[in-house]
Amino acid sequence: MRTIDWVDDAIVLVDQTRLPGELTYLRITTVADLIDAIQRLAVRGAPALGVAGAMGVALAARTGEPIAPLRAARPTAVNLAWGVDQAAANADPLARALEIRDEDLSACLAMGARGADLLAEHAATRVMTVCNTGGLATVERGTALGVIQTMHERGVLAEALALETRPLLQGARLTAWELARMGAPHRLIVDSAGPFLLARGAADAVLIGADRIAANGDTANKIGSYSLALGACRAGVPFLVIAPETTIDLATPTGDAIHIEDRGAAEVVSLGGVKIAPDGTQALNPAFDVTPADLITAIVTDRRVIRLDRGETP
């Protein structure tokens, strides 16, 4: 199953807002519709957004729509702007978009192998993860969840613990769905239980993806990642970031320079369209947080392992 692809002059992508109840696909033929799909999270995940951005430029070449709004549709994820820029700089935007799609497939396989090898060095068989970093966040397989899939295929995965990931429950809706499809042993936990369960020895390592990695190694990822990093540090277990080289943004010096998207109060005060807070309740809703580099053991990319704990930098 490919999360996003180019079929018959259109972008075809899984509508992730319908999962886990229904597996449906959207056919996108305009940049405006693609922006809408991105902003309502029908397509999400940094690598998948890179592919979407590139394919959106190919659409724009046919429809005449501007690409600037597409590039800015989700400001924290560097891959979206990168994909737009890559395709826009090519004489044949569609050819470059398809290259980016295929490069993502190869990158996920490489990250899975490198990450699983590194975890084997730590004798880690029980892992904890947040949000969704599987095939739904890429074209296929995934970043952090791709490592878990590789461990499962090698027969060394004892258990994956997935955080539900409030407020939109990507862990419960998407990661648990992907883990079940691959037949991997897993349990779902509430977000606030993660650090405590690490302290009690429930996992041997924490794996997260990334939406942007600064030049010093600070990493922006789904909200809740920072608290897991603090818990992992206290528990003395490795904390690994799994992301392609394209997510490293050397133009951003530190995490302080990363713009963090706030998605508004509605996602916090309601759940599935049902109000869970009194009328008029205000909310803060940062979609991402930033984990400082000194809490990260290593960044695993498709090309290398960057040991931040040994003083290496991206």
Q: Active-site residues: which are they?
A: 211
User: What residue type is assigned to position 287 of the chain?
Assistant: A
Backbone dihedral angles phi then psi of residue 222, each to the nearest 5 degrees: -50, 140
74 is in an annotated binding site: yes
275 is in an annotated binding site: no
157/155 Cα distance (integer angstroms): 6
135 is in an annotated binding site: no
Total length of the chain: 314
45 is in an annotated binding site: yes
DSSP 262: B
154 is in an annotated binding site: no
In order of 60, 67, 71, 312, the CA distances from 50 in angstroms are 15, 14, 10, 26
Long-range Cβ contact pairs of 304-313 (< 8 A, separation 24 or more): 304/114, 305/114, 305/118, 306/217, 308/217, 313/215, 313/216, 313/217
* SS3 call for 67: coil
- Whether residue 117 contacts residue 89, with contact meaning beta carbons closer than 8 Å, is answered with no
46 is in an annotated binding site: yes
For the annotated binding site, the residues are: 44-46, 74, 170, 221-222
For the annotated binding site for substrate, the residues are: 44-46, 74, 170, 221-222
